[in-house]
Structure 1
Amino acid sequence: MQSFRLPWFVRLVLRQCWLLFHLLFSIYQFGSHFLQVIESYIISLGLLQSYQNLQLHNLRHLAIVVDSEEARNTLMVKELLHWVSKIGVNYLTLYDMEGVLKKSLDGDLSNFASGMTSASQQNRMIIELLSFADSKAGVAKAASFLCSKYQNDELASSSKKEPALTESEIDDALNAVGCGGPDPDLLLIYGPVRCHLGFPAWRIRYTEIIHMGSLKSMKYGAILKAFYEYSKKQQNYGN
């Protein structure tokens, strides 16, 4: 059976259409990125009043995920910490998959303080360092804890029944083995892909997630914009 081939002029037209589409998409991406840079710069200068005096009473816990390759740039990570501290974040969870931040920042976090909470009081920002190893170990420890608990309950009871785990029991198990923690209200992701890169899934059930792009292109105005957009959201929780 002879294979079907389009005429050469049809293939030429299709190729030109594809190149034109690719060119238009590239122009759109460049224009969008350029506008974002200009907007971030304007916000950083304080020229937009709506981004000043942010209402962060709903932002009790912030989490930041950094791609492990980009996390090796310790100076930029520290600058990012200074920015969120300056804005007034009180509790921050900092995560990368390979544990680069744990090695480079552990013991070097004493200089980060949050913004003034009153005229005469200043609170230090609490920083929690996590990696994928913590997530994997947490699941294993919690499963072992629940298994032991079920076996003990089965020995103490005369009747056997199938275990029915609830969300609260899993939370209690994670907290019991030291792998629990508060759910972040907002999660900022710095990296080339739009995913949480292994951040503990049981801690982002009701979390707002925003992809911030590459750490190399981070901007103070972009963080202010993310906080502003979060402050305008209203979350409705079910029963």
Structure 2
Amino acid sequence: MMVKLILGFLWYLIHLVISLFNLWSHLCNNLECYLISSELLPKFRNLRLEKLKYLGVVVDSREANNILKVKQLLWWLSTIGVKNVILYDVEGVLKKLLEPGIKASRDRNSRNSINVSANMEASHFSHGGMAVECLSGSDGKEGIAKAANLMYSDFCNCATHGSAKSDIIFTEADMACALRAAGSGGAEPDLLLVYGPVRCHLGFPAWRLRYTEIVHMGSLKSMKYGSIVKAFYRFSEKYQNYGM
């Protein structure tokens, strides 16, 4: 009995210490975000966003219906100075909710006589001078299926012209070319912010995440301006040597 009591006490003590540590970390993070939002921390005032050509934002579909939060997020990103955003949720909720903006952008393009492909018209619009691309899970599935069909056609053509099957090897470059030909290549985000309950990219097209830095931001309803600025600052301070 004494051993059980001691082990039980140690278990609850460890649990209490971990809970207190998590509470302390949460409070420190909230305080830091508040100080960043109030511009009281000098190092966060001037962000170097030269490396951030494209920003990816993943939103859990169950939270994507909160269009006010999404628009607030886009406004914050535009204010910070982000030029290109790739917005994604697996069920395509954001694409449906932002459809009026997409139609307005398409109408402006048609009035200016700009030739844009059907895929681009269906998923691109601008917000406060910032270019936004909307993606969903179906885009990824259709894109990979079209690319696979193109590669299979090329394989059949090579076989018809007498090439041995063992000589045909599909590489990553071949897959990238097929995806571009199918209209599903697209830009690769340098940084991906994930708003959702789990620490994963929630189905964002994997072929566009080869060198992407992924940051989990927590729930969309509890998003903070300071946490976005902090994520950008940490990204700007990192040294990436890919491609060397």
**TM score, norm. by length of structure 2:** 0.86
Indicate the residue corresponding to 1:4 in structure 2.
none
1:229 aligns with 2:234: yes
1:74 aligns with 2:79: no
Question: Alpha-carbon deviation of 1:16?
Answer: 2.0
CA distance in 1, matches of 2:13, 2:3: 15
Which segments of 5 or more consecutive residues in structure 2 lack a partner in the other structure?
A: 106-125
Indicate the residue corresponding to 1:3 in structure 2.
none
- SS for the counterpart of 2:165 is coil
1:103 aligns with 2:96: yes
Rg bigger for which structure?
1
CA distance in 1, matches of 2:163, 2:49: 51
Question: Alpha-carbon deviation of 1:135?
Answer: 1.3
Question: Alpha-carbon deviation of 1:215?
Answer: 1.0
What is the percentage of aligned positions where both structures have the same residue?
53
RMSD over equivalenced CA pairs, Å: 1.4
- SS for the counterpart of 2:216 is strand
- SS for the counterpart of 1:68 is coil
Question: Alpha-carbon deviation of 1:161?
Answer: 2.9
Indicate the residue corresponding to 2:83 in structure 1.
90
Letter of the structure 2 residue corresponding to residue 159 of structure 1: S
Q: How does 1:72-221 map to 2 (within 5 A)?
A: 72-108=65-101, 112-113=127-128, 124-155=129-160, 157-162=161-166, 163-221=168-226
Question: Alpha-carbon deviation of 1:9?
Answer: 3.0
Which segments of 5 or more consecutive residues in structure 1 lack a partner in the other structure?
A: 1-7, 114-123
Question: Alpha-carbon deviation of 1:238?
Answer: 4.2
1:11 aligns with 2:1: no
Letter of the structure 2 residue corresponding to residue 161 of structure 1: K
Indicate the residue corresponding to 1:31 in structure 2.
24
